[in-house]
Structure 1
Amino acid sequence: MFMRLALAATASMALTSFAHAAEISISCGAVGQELSLCKSGAEAWAKKTGNTVKIVSTPNDTNERLALYQQQLSASSSEIDVFQIDVIWPGILGQHFVNLSPYTKGAEKEHFPAIIVNNTVNGELVAMPWFTDAGVLYYRKDLLDKYGLKPPATWQEMTDEATKIQDGERKAGNDKFWGVVFQGRAYEGLTCDALEWIDSFGGGTIIDAEGNITVNNPKAAAALTLAAGWIGKIAPEGVLNYGEEEARGVFQSGNAAFMRNWPYAWSLGNGADSPVKDKIGVVALPKGGEGGKNTGTLGGWQLAVSKYSKNTDLAADLVVYLTSKDEQKRRAIEGSYNPTITALYDDPDVLKAVPFFGDLKATFMNAVARPSRVTGANYNEVSTNFWNAVSNVLSGKEKAEDALTTLDSNLAGIKGSGW
């Protein structure tokens, strides 16, 4: 009798579990191994909880992805439950996301405090950190050794070393070889690269924490002028159309000495099929010169739950799982995605897989933020004006001083409408 009752109870529980099973949709990027790691993590959660997941692929271009999100959220669509959002978007999209604090059980205390502050809008934790980023400089260890060089301390040193290596490799028969590749297309990636150049020269952060426009200054002009001098000389003309993956493609194929990119490129560059496997070094991005500093733009992505989800509790549970210590450790080891949990930067397994995480811990913790918090909903317009001005300088359409003067005026117009 007891056995029959137990079996009946078990069957009842199974039916109840099945009845409550749901499909949770999550948007994932596809740069590097993002999509595959997102899928495997979400599927592990689904297996654990008895639910199913639907992976929604979104554009790699951050501008296109933001436009898609704004369209979905403005329509109060329930199509996506969990959104992967850029570190600069909480102020733009936060009103559409649920407060995750009731679901986290205090887990946010393990994460970098600055990112938690970034993800808190009007007192509500609208997103949990998934992985962080800062721009870094990749270099070919074998080629620096070949030419008797050391990793560059300044951008001018990088320029000189890139020129020397490029000349040597082309004389040796590789006419496709370039000194440096980076993200030069007119999009958010160029904002990240150019902010690094300018900040490293001591030229500020475009707009300061008090909302003052600071970008129109001689140090900023010097930084952009130097970068413009790379185009067609040590960087291909095509770099003006490069995003992250285009730059990685050139570097990983063995056709560049230096590359500015995010940490994700490390694991791919050291993959079994990579021509540059075991030939890559990574250091902090160079200083602008005397009085300058090493700087990397703060990047990274967060997970947020839509207020329009029909399964808020399950969606929040998926977010907590994917941003957990165990899952962040897995992603760090398999895909070199930077954890946002401080303790993982001292984890021996993580450091074995990605040694520079330990060397550059300070770079990741002190990365320079884009002015998204101070400009709020106006950030996208601010960034668009900035990257267009930089693009004009890189392409030779304008001198840096003229482009920054125009930019200053345009930003003043945006500020006039309030930020």
Structure 2
Amino acid sequence: MNVSIKVLLLCGSMMATGFAAQAAEISMAANSTGKNLNFIREQLVEFEKQSGHKVKLVTMPPSSSEQFSQYRLWLAAGNTDVDVYQTDVVWAPQLAEQFVDLTEAAKDVVSKHFPSVIASQTVDGKLVAMPMYTDAPALFYRKDLLEKYGKQPPKTWKELAETANEVQDKERTAGQKDMWGFVFQGSAYEGLTCNALEWIASAGGGHIVETNGDISINNEKAAAALEMAKSWIGTISPQGALAYKEEEARGVWQTGNSVFMRNWTYVYALGNGGDSAIKGKFGVVPLPAGTEGETAASTLGGWNAAVSKYSKNQEAAIALVKFLGSEETQKKRAVELSNMPTIAALYDDKDVAAAQPFMPLWKPIFETAVPRPSAATKVKYNEVSAKFWGAVHNTLSGTGTAAENLELLEVELTDLKGDSW
């Protein structure tokens, strides 16, 4: 079938769905964490069916740091091969100049989304990416093991360590030699920034760089929080946790070899999958607080879809990002992958609540989630984060004390800031 005939046949369908009448071939870069790629492939089939456009999927690694590096190279070179980028919530200020302003195209749907999420993707008044889903981490716990030993989900990090140590030791004595108390993302990458920000913020140690641009990281509470986490390595957490990203932590957890795990909510659906050793045996609660009376801190996460300003088919690309951020697609993603919607109404949806019983409880967490300091540090955020996770990783691995590493970090960030961010 030649192109002109194909376009004529598809015209009625495209006009009915509001998509452009001219079919185009576009491409989208997306990450490979969990079942994200499988889900997106299924949605692209539906999008192609409705719109007549064709979409090529460009597979990216699961590490957000590696994705960002590749994206920055492509965009700096004016790459026309990728039209749509799946983007992390913190990238908007750094890549805004390379993306199309979606304000006008999305004016009919932005009011459905959490204002904080829309704000996170708005730079100098321009909406540079459409939200696909938001995220905040959870504490996953083995419900069966806590019940077995008469324990409750911990409210503080100190309580977590005590419970993890006790249950771990008793399970090992009972023959579960590979059991650990707690797994998290300890590798030197963006995920460690998220974890460490939670430890520090929940202890009252600030947010690395505050909203006014002040560098706040070098303080006693922040140092104490990192020393606390350092004490976990080799006791309740394996030495290998220093190389864990999301999927490595999930691997230990899902095979039944950890009492607790810090991870993002996509793990919930996978943990209850047919091939999971812990299906039906776990629960999720918000992350612990630093101490009694302190507020727990969950790092704001989430992924979006942005249109490259170098795209030769921007109309089709904009149609795709609106489709991927639509209420229908977000509902499917929530039900199938336990990814958190950015559309508030879906937290009251009966189908979503039935598939993911924990999800409605997460709505207030997003309203108080802790953002990484990308807005304050703008285009320098990636360097700030890399220096921060480097200092944290050095501390966890025993290279210098937390106080020493944070003092050095303050000097490095001050040099990086210069006169302003």
TM-score grouping bracket, smaller chain normalisation: over 0.9
The answer as to whether partners of 2:185 and 2:249 remain within 8 angstroms in 1 is yes
For residues 20 and 206 of structure 1, what CA distance do their matches in structure 2 show?
48
The answer as to whether partners of 1:132 and 1:301 remain within 8 angstroms in 2 is yes
Aligned to 2:266: 264
Structure 2 counterpart of 1:299, one-letter code: G
Q: Secondary structure at the match of 1:410?
A: helix
- Distance of aligned partners of 1:290 and 1:28 in 2 relative to their CA distance in 1, 3 Å threshold: same
The answer as to whether partners of 1:132 and 1:299 remain within 8 angstroms in 2 is yes
Structure 2 counterpart of 1:13, one-letter code: L
Aligned to 1:207: 209
The answer as to whether partners of 1:283 and 1:360 remain within 8 angstroms in 2 is no
Q: Secondary structure at the match of 2:291?
A: coil
Aligned to 2:345: 343
The answer as to whether partners of 1:298 and 1:368 remain within 8 angstroms in 2 is yes
After alignment, is 290-299 or 159-168 more displaced? 290-299
For residues 381 and 341 of structure 1, what CA distance do their matches in structure 2 show?
31
- Distance of aligned partners of 1:280 and 1:100 in 2 relative to their CA distance in 1, 3 Å threshold: same
Q: Tell whether 2:283 aligns with 1:277.
A: no
Give, in angstroms, the shift of residue 291 of structure 1. 3.8
Aligned to 1:308: 310
Give, in angstroms, the shift of residue 16 of structure 1. 7.3
Give the TM-score taking structure 2 as reference length. Answer: 0.95
Aligned to 1:5: none
For residues 11 and 322 of structure 1, what CA distance do their matches in structure 2 show?
24
- Distance of aligned partners of 1:349 and 1:16 in 2 relative to their CA distance in 1, 3 Å threshold: closer
Flag structure 1 segments of 5+ consecutive residues without an equivalent: 1-9
For residues 12 and 38 of structure 1, what CA distance do their matches in structure 2 show?
24
The answer as to whether partners of 2:226 and 2:395 remain within 8 angstroms in 1 is yes
Deviations 1:213-262 (A, max 9, x none): 11111111111111000000100000000000000000000000000000
Q: Secondary structure at the match of 1:224?
A: helix
Residue in structure 2 matching 1:298, options 300, 305, 320: 300
For residues 386 and 30 of structure 2, what CA distance do their matches in structure 1 show?
24
For residues 74 and 68 of structure 1, what CA distance do their matches in structure 2 show?
10
For residues 290 and 218 of structure 1, what CA distance do their matches in structure 2 show?
18
Structure 2 counterpart of 1:245, one-letter code: E
Structure 1 counterpart of 2:180, one-letter code: W
- Distance of aligned partners of 1:291 and 1:89 in 2 relative to their CA distance in 1, 3 Å threshold: same
Matches within 5 A, 1:360-379: 360-379=362-381
Aligned to 1:14: 9
The answer as to whether partners of 1:247 and 1:259 remain within 8 angstroms in 2 is yes
- Distance of aligned partners of 1:33 and 1:16 in 2 relative to their CA distance in 1, 3 Å threshold: closer
Matches within 5 A, 1:232-247: 232-247=234-249
For residues 277 and 11 of structure 2, what CA distance do their matches in structure 1 show?
53
Structure 1 counterpart of 2:129, one-letter code: A
Aligned to 1:137: 139
The answer as to whether partners of 1:181 and 1:256 remain within 8 angstroms in 2 is yes
Aligned to 1:75: 77
Matches within 5 A, 1:379-418: 379-416=381-418, 418=420
- Distance of aligned partners of 1:384 and 1:48 in 2 relative to their CA distance in 1, 3 Å threshold: same
Structure 2 counterpart of 1:115, one-letter code: V
For residues 88 and 285 of structure 1, what CA distance do their matches in structure 2 show?
21
For residues 346 and 367 of structure 2, what CA distance do their matches in structure 1 show?
13
For residues 62 and 130 of structure 2, what CA distance do their matches in structure 1 show?
20
Structure 2 counterpart of 1:127, one-letter code: A
Give the TM-score taking structure 1 as reference length. Answer: 0.95
Moved beyond 6 Å, runs of 4+:
15-19
Structure 1 counterpart of 2:390, one-letter code: N
Structure 2 counterpart of 1:81, one-letter code: D
Flag structure 2 segments of 5+ consecutive residues without an equivalent: 15-20
After alignment, is 371-380 or 34-43 more displaced? 34-43
The answer as to whether partners of 2:10 and 2:52 remain within 8 angstroms in 1 is no
- Distance of aligned partners of 1:12 and 1:161 in 2 relative to their CA distance in 1, 3 Å threshold: closer
For residues 10 and 410 of structure 2, what CA distance do their matches in structure 1 show?
63
Matches within 5 A, 1:103-114: 103-114=105-116
Give, in angstroms, the shift of residue 381 of structure 1. 0.7
Aligned residue pairs, count: 411
Structure 1 counterpart of 2:204, one-letter code: G
Matches within 5 A, 1:131-280: 131-280=133-282
Residue in structure 1 matching 2:56, options 47, 54, 57: 54
Deviations 1:317-352 (A, max 9, x none): 011111000100000000001000011111111111
Give, in angstroms, the shift of residue 358 of structure 1. 1.3
Give, in angstroms, the shift of residue 13 of structure 1. 3.1
RMSD of aligned C-alpha atoms? 1.7
Give, in angstroms, the shift of residue 373 of structure 1. 0.4
- Distance of aligned partners of 1:213 and 1:291 in 2 relative to their CA distance in 1, 3 Å threshold: farther
For residues 414 and 184 of structure 2, what CA distance do their matches in structure 1 show?
29
Q: Secondary structure at the match of 2:104?
A: helix
For residues 296 and 130 of structure 2, what CA distance do their matches in structure 1 show?
28
